[in-house]
Chains A and B, each alone.
Chain A
Amino acid sequence: EPEVTQTPSHQVTQMGQEVILRCVPISNHLYFYWYRQILGQKVEFLVSFYNNEISEKSEIFDDQFSVERPDGSNFTLKIRSTKLEDSAMYFCASSPTGVSGYEKLFFGSGTQLSVL
């Protein structure tokens, strides 16, 4: 079964550094998402991306965050200047359709980001 892949599985960085989390969505999917889960808390929506632009973002997704689809297969989340509170498991997800369908999201295994 096709799957969403994320790299790296673990990322350790110093506060203030930039990090890029990488994802390869399922190949025929059109909608891409980032979610995160801080330890002990809920899975939270960050951003959705379609047709090379952000379609929706949450309050968490401030100017420190950006997303990009640099080529036909990768989808990245960049955090420009990491803070301690950015430490979380970051999940990439994709779906074949978006608003129009009762589609399900397919999630990757996540990248555990630790900011020291």
Chain B
Amino acid sequence: DQQVKQNSPSLSVQEGRISILNCDYTNSMFDYFLWYKKYPAEGPTFLISISSIKDKNEDGRFTVFLNKSAKHLSLHIVPSQPGDSAVYFCAARFYNQGGKLIFGQGTELSVKP
């Protein structure tokens, strides 16, 4: 099942710079996309989301961009901070399927001071 893919298992960024995490999907029936952050020994924590009818959503340092024609979304973190170091999961939801999320493999972000 490769409906949601995060092709970069890891990303290293300098503190203060931009982090860009990418996610691709294959199913056009997804109507809602979410990013979760996960620290070791903790559960995933919701970060930001975007509806399929939008192309951008911003919340503080975090912005998610959605390109429906390319079936691609990205998470931008500006400026990156060492506390942002975590695994980031992209997730997608089918129309009308509530909390059944399809997750990507995750990208481990390391922000170096």
What is the CA–CA distance of A106 and B46 in the complex, to the nearest angstrom? 7
Q: Are A55 and B98 in contact (CB under 8 A)?
A: yes
Give the most central of A44, A95, A99: most B CB within 10 Å: A99
Give the contact-size bracket for chain B.
20 to 34
Q: Are B41 and A98 in contact (CB under 8 A)?
A: no
What is the CA–CA distance of A109 and B49 in the complex, to the nearest angstrom? 21
Q: Does B45 contact A (CB under 8 A)?
A: yes
If A42-B104, A56-B100, A102-B32 touch, whether A109 touches B43 (CB-CB below 8 Å) is yes
Give the most central of B34, B51, B98: most A CB within 10 Å: B98
Measured between C-beta atoms, what is the minimum distance from A92 to chain B in Å?
A: 8
Contact indicator per residue, chain A 25-61, by CB within 8 Å of chain B (1) or not (0): 0000001010100000111110010000001101000
Q: Does B102 contact A (CB under 8 A)?
A: yes
Q: Given the complex, which residues of B lie within 8 Å of A55, measured CB to CB?
A: 98
Q: Are A102 and B51 in contact (CB under 8 A)?
A: yes
If A43-B44, A43-B89 touch, whether A105 touches B99 (CB-CB below 8 Å) is yes
Q: Given the complex, which residues of B lie within 8 Å of A44, measured CB to CB?
A: 103
Measured between C-beta atoms, what is the minimum distance from B101 to chain A in Å?
A: 6
Give the most central of B36, B44, B102, B105: most A CB within 10 Å: B44
A9, closest chain B residue (CB): B41
Q: Are B96 and A99 in contact (CB under 8 A)?
A: yes
Q: Does A4 contact B (CB under 8 A)?
A: yes
What is the CA–CA distance of A56 and B99 in the complex, to the nearest angstrom? 9
Q: Are B43 and A4 in contact (CB under 8 A)?
A: yes
Q: Given the complex, which residues of A lie within 8 Å of B46, measured CB to CB?
A: 104-106
Q: Are B96 and A105 in contact (CB under 8 A)?
A: no
Q: Does B97 contact A (CB under 8 A)?
A: yes
A56, closest chain B residue (CB): B100
Partner of A104, one of B34, B96, B97, B106: B34
Complex A-B, nearest 6 residue pairs according to Cβ-Cβ distance, in ascending order:
A107-B43, A98-B98, A104-B46, A99-B98, A43-B103, A107-B44
